[in-house]
Amino acid sequence: MPPPTIHHTFVLQRSFAASPDHVFAAFADPAQKRRWFADGFPSHDVLSFELDFQVGGVERIVYQFKEGTPFPGTLMALEGRILEIVPGSRVVSASSMAMAGRIFSASLVTAEIVPTESGTDLILTHQGAFFENSDGPDGRQAGWGKLLDHLETILAA
At 107-156, the pLDDT tens digits run 999 999 999 999 999 999 999 999 988 889 999 999 999 999 999 999 99
Give the domain extent around 15.
6-42+87-156
Is residue 56 in some structural domain?
no
Is residue 75 in some structural domain?
no
Is residue 53 in some structural domain?
no
For the whole prediction, is pTM greater than 0.75? yes
Is residue 71 in some structural domain?
no
Is residue 65 in some structural domain?
no
Is residue 80 in some structural domain?
no
Is residue 49 in some structural domain?
no
> Does residue 105 have a pLDDT over 80?
yes
Please give the share of the chain, as a percent, with pLDDT higher than 70.
Answer: 100
At 78-96, the pLDDT tens digits run 999 999 999 999 999 999 9
Instruction: Enumerate the β-bridge partners of residue 123.
Output: 13, 112
Number of structural domains, the chain?
1
What CATH code is carried by the domain that includes residue 13?
A: 3.30.530.20
β-pair type (75-86, 58-65): antiparallel
Helices and strands in the chain: count of H runs, count of E runs: 3, 7
Given a contact cutoff of 8 angstroms between Cβ atoms, the answer to whether 23 and 120 are in contact is: yes
Is residue 61 in some structural domain?
no
Backbone angles phi, psi at 94, to 5 degrees: -120, 140
Please list the alpha-helical segments (H only) found in 12-72. Answer: 20-28, 30-33
